[in-house]
């Protein structure tokens, strides 16, 4: 690490860096220097002072097997040494080929057979939108150009992906921009709108089982299968955004497996490389791919891509991550962890009057902080209870980030039983410290 003093580094950050989703006025407070991280070991992050923190939100929902996993580090090191990057426009590379094969094998069902690479969750979604639109044009259904998205949805920050978003704080400024969107709260609303809507829709986009940025809001069981049935009845494609839910987070490799649903487009990013380096993939079917295959004069080509498409280092990391799932029987190993998290959260909710609803899906949890658990009365916004509790939890060795007054707990899949207990203990202590008074 750099030999510079921590205070100097922190000040340089405050002077020159612009952080995402961050109120920079607060961030730049000279009396409140940022936490500078230098190392990761398993589920632990370590700062410049040697303080250790449990990575309570898996580094914004990306980390899977822990930091510094030797299998992943070695794969990245080896690939970076032989070929860090080469163009995917006109040439190909070994890890990208092998990862495509591995993803097709791992994907739900047997019809997701084509893999289009990009860089992050937003571009994985952007790519699905562009494919869905161009597909309709290619098959002479130009009138199908609307996307259905849900209230509370979050699908990324590039303009097309962001226009699907249903969170006012993030997306309110984009009203009327981006792709045409019909936003609905439920399938019932879709059914009521009937044929006139259905006939104008290219695809429905949803985060399966749980909406992340909405505050870890779990969908009613069966909704995903019902949505697939609605899409099938109306000739509409289904785009599943498994950017957060993919790679074991919900207890199965992909969330949609839990309702036996296979989408027409599957967007993957965050956990794809185990949370090490950026890479994304959009999987689709041969039926859709076939429409894009034609003579040059038919102008069927998909003119979309990014400089780092098919990046060999990212693909090597993703291959290693998939191998770890098998070698370490990760999905089996997390089962008791999921159960333990459930027990601890239930105990927390019943013991603490500041804990309202608690939602869990696999190793994803959202814990609502309320003024009174009995009445579910919320804290005033300016109290910033979620931020205060997460801030306090740091002192007890838990690092996480709230969504409003919902505390997110999303331990990496490698988390041990003791680490999980310590993390919930830290949250409990922080709750008691911070919210005992009104
Ligand atoms: C994080 C996220 C995205 C956007 O991914 P980025 O890598 O941040 O661009 C899209 N969809 C969901 C469900 C996400 O959680």
pLDDT at res. 186:
94
What number does the ligand 1 atom closest to the CA of 213 have? 15
Tell me the β-bridge partners of 52: 46
269 Cβ closer than 6 Å to some ligand 1 atom: yes
Q: Where are the beta strands (DSSP E) in 231-388?
A: 237-241, 265-268, 280-285, 355-361, 364-369
Checking if the pLDDT of 1 tops 70, the result is no
CA gap 3, 351 in Å, rounded: 46
352 Cβ closer than 6 Å to some ligand 1 atom: no
pLDDT at res. 2:
58
Percent of the chain with pLDDT over 90: 92
419 Cβ closer than 6 Å to some ligand 1 atom: no
pLDDT at res. 29:
93
| pLDDT tens per residue across span 276-303 | 999 999 999 999 999 999 998 999 999 9
pTM above 0.95, yes or no: yes
Question: Is residue 117 classed as helix, strand or coil in its secondary structure?
Answer: strand
pLDDT at res. 312:
98
207 Cβ closer than 6 Å to some ligand 1 atom: yes
Cα(298) to centroid(ligand 1), Å: 34
Q: Where are the beta strands (DSSP E) in 242-380?
A: 265-268, 280-285, 355-361, 364-369
Are residues 323 and 329 in contact, defined by beta-carbon separation less than 8 angstroms? no
Percent of the chain with pLDDT over 70: 99
Are residues 89 and 125 in contact, defined by beta-carbon separation less than 8 angstroms? no
244 Cβ closer than 6 Å to some ligand 1 atom: yes
Which of 243, 277, 314 should be mutated for ligand 1, with most atoms under 8 A from CB? 243
Question: Is residue 372 classed as helix, strand or coil in its secondary structure?
Answer: strand
| pLDDT tens per residue across span 359-380 | 999 999 999 999 998 888 999 9
Residue 34 gets which letter from DSSP?
Answer: P
pLDDT at res. 189:
95
| pLDDT tens per residue across span 232-279 | 999 999 999 999 999 999 999 999 999 999 999 999 999 999 999 999
- Which are the contacts of 216, defined by CB distance < 8 A and separation ≥ 6? 210, 359, 361, 364, 365, 366, 403, 406, 408
What number does the ligand 1 atom closest to the CA of 242 have? 13
368 Cβ closer than 6 Å to some ligand 1 atom: no
Mean pLDDT of 176-194: 94
Mean pLDDT of 160-189: 92
| pLDDT tens per residue across span 86-144 | 999 999 999 999 999 999 999 999 999 999 999 999 999 999 999 999 999 999 999 99
156 Cβ closer than 6 Å to some ligand 1 atom: yes
Query: How do 112-118 and 402-403 pair as beta strands?
Result: unpaired
Length reported for the chain: 438
pLDDT at res. 271:
98
Which residue's CA is the nearest one to ligand 1's atom 6? Answer: 121
pLDDT at res. 438:
57
Residue that is written with structure tokens 């689709």 in the block: 284
273 Cβ closer than 6 Å to some ligand 1 atom: no
């Amino acid at each position: 690490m750099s030999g510079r003093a921590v205070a100097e580094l922190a000040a340089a950050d405050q002077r020159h860096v612009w952080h995402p989703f961050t109120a920079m006025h607060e961030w730049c407070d000279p009396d409140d220097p940022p936490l500078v991280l230098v190392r990761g070991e398993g589920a632990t992050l370590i700062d410049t002072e040697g303080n250790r923190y449990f990575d309570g939100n898996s580094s914004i929902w990306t980390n899977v097997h822990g930091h510094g996993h030797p299998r992943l580090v070695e794969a990245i090191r080896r690939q970076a040494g032989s070929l860090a990057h080469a163009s995917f426009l006109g040439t190909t590379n070994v890890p990208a080929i092998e990862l495509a094969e591995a993803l097709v094998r791992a994907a739900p069902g047997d019809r997701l057979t084509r893999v289009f690479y990009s860089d992050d969750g937003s571009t994985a979604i952007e790519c699905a939108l562009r494919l869905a639109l161009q597909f309709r044009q290619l098959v002479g259904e130009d009138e199908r150009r609307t996307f259905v998205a849900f209230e509370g949805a979050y699908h990324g920050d590039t303009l097309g992906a962001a226009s699907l978003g249903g969170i006012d704080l993030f997306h309110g400024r984009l009203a009327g921009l981006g792709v045409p969107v019909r936003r609905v709260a439920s399938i019932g609303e879709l059914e009521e709108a009937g044929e006139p809507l259905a006939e104008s829709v290219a695809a429905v986009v949803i985060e399966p089982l749980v909406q992340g940025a909405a505050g870890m809001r779990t969908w009613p069981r069966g909704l995903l299968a019902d949505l697939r049935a609605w899409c099938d009845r109306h000739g509409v494609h289904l785009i599943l955004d498994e950017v957060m839910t993919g790679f074991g987070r919900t207890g199965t490799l992909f969330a949609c497996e839990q309702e036996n649903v296979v989408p027409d487009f599957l967007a993957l990013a965050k956990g794809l490389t185990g949370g090490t380096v950026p890479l994304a993939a959009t999987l689709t079917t041969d039926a859709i791919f076939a429409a894009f295959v034609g003579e040059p004069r038919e102008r069927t080509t998909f003119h979309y891509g990014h400089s780092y498409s098919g990046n060999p280092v990212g693909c090597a990391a993703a291959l290693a991550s998939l191998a770890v799932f098998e070698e370490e029987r990760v999905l089996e190993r997390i089962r008791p962890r999921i159960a333990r998290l459930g027990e601890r959260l239930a105990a927390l909710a019943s013991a603490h009057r500041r804990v309202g609803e608690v939602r869990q899906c696999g190793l994803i949890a959202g814990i609502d902080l309320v003024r009174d658990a009995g009445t579910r009365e919320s804290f005033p916004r300016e109290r910033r209870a979620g931020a205060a509790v997460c801030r306090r939890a740091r002192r007890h060795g838990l690092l996480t980030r709230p969504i409003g007054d919902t505390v997110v707990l999303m331990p990496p899949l490698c988390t041990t039983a003791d680490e999980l207990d310590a993390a919930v203990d830290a949250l409990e202590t922080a709750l008691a410290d911070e919210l005992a008074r009104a």
